[in-house]
Structure 1
Amino acid sequence: MSELHYRAMLEADLDEVLSIETAAFSHPWTRGIFQDCVRSEYECWLLFSGNQQVGHTVLSAAGDESHLLNITIRPENQGFGLGAALLEFIIDRAKQRKAEVTFLEVRASNEAAARLYERFGFNEIGRRRNYYPAAGGREDALVMAYSLID
């Protein structure tokens, strides 16, 4: 695997971001959602392996809380530790923003992601019923939290 590096997301990056997003998810974020996040000065970051964009993440931070809104790795690059690297990076960004806790929601069916979050130290604190659109209906979200206080 090539050297990893990160860069702030720009609106000019959204074609490739959307390409990765639609390859990874059955119900991907839209261009408008990403544009709003970039324009709102959320923590929007790209992950590169060498010069290939392999993932992206979006985090909002306000006061002493942060919310991991999106973390996506290109499907063919999953399973190589890139999700963990991107998660560690964005959690460091939350700490720099003085957040004391990070929250996230993950599809109940996304067991690989939930295991990654648990290994990192996130704890399930609740469930949002019928939160996500899914094929043939709706799907629950697991609500997870991670304390950033040492």
Structure 2
Amino acid sequence: MAIRIEPMVTADIERCVELEQLLFPEDDPWHAVAFQSELAAPHNRYITARDDDGRMVGYAGVALLGDDEHPEAEVHTIGVDPACLRAGIGTLLLEALLAEAAKRGGPMFLEVRTDNTPAIALYAKHGFHIIGLRKNYYHPSGADAYTMRRPALSALPLPDEVLS
């Protein structure tokens, strides 16, 4: 299966909400209004992963924060259709977020459930390190989260399939 990474558009929100319900049922999945707000914020970049048929099989978002002198980025979300797990889609989405953040430099942060071993391993493989624990971070489940940090990003080439 070939995967294309593309910018998220408003028409993608319905599918994102559907995937949120599948992926995060016990942790207050995002509603359409949350995605609309995220897409409207000028400092956010949201992308989608699409299969050969153009069907969205994943999505991700990053906030580009700080200023030119002190930039930083924060991963807001990465979600992959459960039917497509272990196909490398999460890796493609994360690498696209890293490339976007690298345009500005600075460290990158994220939170991840402490019981999400595959995601923690993916982030560690890409240079993230656990720097803290947030007790009861996810609601309403009360699950804990690790805060992870990747040191300052240097300019990375954008993959060919990522559109600006």
Q: What TM-score, normalized by structure 2, do the two folds share?
A: 0.84
- For residues 41 and 129 of structure 2, what CA distance do their matches in structure 1 show? 28
- For residues 89 and 132 of structure 1, what CA distance do their matches in structure 2 show? 25
CA RMSD of aligned residues (A): 1.3
Name which of structure 1's ranges 112-121 and 4-13 shifts more when overlaid on structure 2. Answer: 4-13
What is the aligned counterpart of 2:113 among 107, 114, 117? 107
Look up the match of 1:126.
Answer: 132
Q: Does 1:53 align with 2:59?
A: no
Q: What TM-score, normalized by structure 1, do the two folds share?
A: 0.91
Look up the match of 2:30.
Answer: 29
Conserved? CA contact 1:6–1:46, under 8 Å:
yes
Look up the match of 1:81.
Answer: 88
Bigger relative CO (Cα 8 Å, ≥ 6 apart): 2
Shift of 1:18: 1.0
- For residues 126 and 100 of structure 1, what CA distance do their matches in structure 2 show? 19
What is the aligned counterpart of 1:146 among 138, 150, 157? 150
Q: Which runs of 4+ in 1 moved over 6 A?
A: none
Higher helix share: 1
Could you tell me which runs of 5 or more consecutive residues in structure 1 were left unpaired when the two chains were aligned.
Answer: none
Shift of 1:11: 1.7
Look up the match of 2:158.
Answer: none
Q: How many pairs are equivalent?
A: 146
- For residues 83 and 132 of structure 2, what CA distance do their matches in structure 1 show? 31
Higher strand share: 1
Conserved? CA contact 1:61–1:99, under 8 Å:
no
